[in-house]
């Protein structure tokens, strides 16, 4: 392993009985994506990408070899000025656990730079995410919340926002993986993207879709063209933001 940071956020299927920190080799099969492999081994996509020296949006090919860690935690390369006490506080780990998982360290108070130390169950501080608007321009015509349905006249929760616009490019609001791209009932043509932190974004009533399921996209990547498909009252984008399975008001994170 290179002297770099690796975050092992969950035990993999290859967790071994002797408790040693190991990297397993996984052979890519037909239909595999980084997302499905990460879910199978309970390891974040970024970890597999880092250890396998590939990019998170890489397309995998059958027979390709990936490197997957077997332990939850962080493999950290000591830098000049580092102390284990400061690292333990920063990554929310216990000193006794560090000592247990690093039996070869003779002196926990004096560790030479370049030494690799395993920090079990480390929690990496996550900076607040940056969100983009799904459209450049357009007019907000309906907000998030309870309203009378424009076609059926019954009261219902409008789980997103509507932006009136015709034939404009739709952007991914944040980095993530496309988990759905196609026809979605009353939503018409739709795209759903899964983002870090338990978030998903949904883009509906599209005239055309420019991405495919399993594709990794960066914030600002054009994923579709607005339209009037599905149960729609006119050309517009219906946009939803979902957190931990529940729709939330997108205006909590995005300025419209």
Q: Which CATH architecture has domain 139-252?
A: Distorted Sandwich (2.70)
> Residue 122's pLDDT is what?
75
- The stretches of the chain forming alpha helices (DSSP H) are 34-41, 45-52, 84-90, 95-101
> Residue 152's pLDDT is what?
66
Among 229, 234, 233, 237, residue whose Cα is nearest residue 254? 237
> Residue 117's pLDDT is what?
84
In a 13 Å sphere around the CA of 206, the CA atoms on its Cβ side amount to 25
Q: Where are the domains of the chain?
A: 6-120, 139-252
pLDDT digits (tens, 9 = 90+) for 143-185: 998 877 766 677 878 899 999 999 999 999 999 999 999 999 9
Q: What pTM was computed for the model?
A: 0.53
200: β partners: 194, 242
Query: What residue ranges of the chain have pLDDT lower than 50?
Result: 1-16
Is the Cβ–Cβ distance between 170 and 237 less than 8 Å?
Answer: yes
> For domain 6-120, is the CATH number 1.10.1200.10?
no
Reported in sequence order, the residue ranges of 109-254 that DSSP labels E, i.e. its strands, are 116-120, 139-142, 145-148, 155-158, 161-164, 169-171, 176-183, 189-195, 199-209, 216-217, 222-226, 236-243, 246-248
């Amino acid at each position: 392993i290179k002297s770099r940071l690796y975050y092992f956020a969950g035990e993999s299927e290859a967790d071994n009985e002797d408790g040693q920190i190991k990297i397993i080799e996984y052979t890519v099969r037909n239909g595999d994506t980084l997302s499905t492999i990460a879910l199978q081994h309970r390891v974040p996509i970024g970890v597999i990408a880092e250890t396998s020296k590939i990019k998170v949006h890489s397309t995998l090919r059958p027979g390709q070899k990936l490197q997957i860690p077997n332990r939850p935690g962080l493999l950290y390369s000591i830098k000049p000025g580092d102390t284990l006490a400061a690292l333990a506080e920063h990554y929310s780990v216990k000193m006794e656990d560090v000592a247990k998982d690093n039996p070869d360290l003779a002196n926990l108070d004096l560790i030479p730079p370049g030494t690799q130390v395993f920090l079990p169950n480390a929690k990496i501080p996550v900076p607040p995410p940056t969100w983009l608007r799904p459209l450049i321009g357009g007019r907000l015509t309906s907000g998030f919340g309870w309203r009378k349905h424009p076609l059926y006249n019954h009261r219902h929760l409008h789980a997103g926002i509507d932006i009136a616009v015709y034939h404009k490019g739709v952007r991914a609001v944040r980095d993530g993986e496309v988990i759905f791209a196609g026809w979605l009932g009353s939503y018409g043509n739709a795209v759903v993207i899964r983002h870090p932190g338990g978030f998903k974004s949904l883009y509906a009533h599209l005239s055309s879709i420019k991405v495919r399921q399993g594709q990794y996209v960066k914030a600002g990547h054009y994923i579709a063209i607005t339209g009037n498909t599905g149960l729609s009252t006119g050309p517009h984008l219906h946009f939803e933001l979902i957190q931990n399975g529940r729709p939330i008001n997108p205006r909590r994170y995005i300025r419209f």
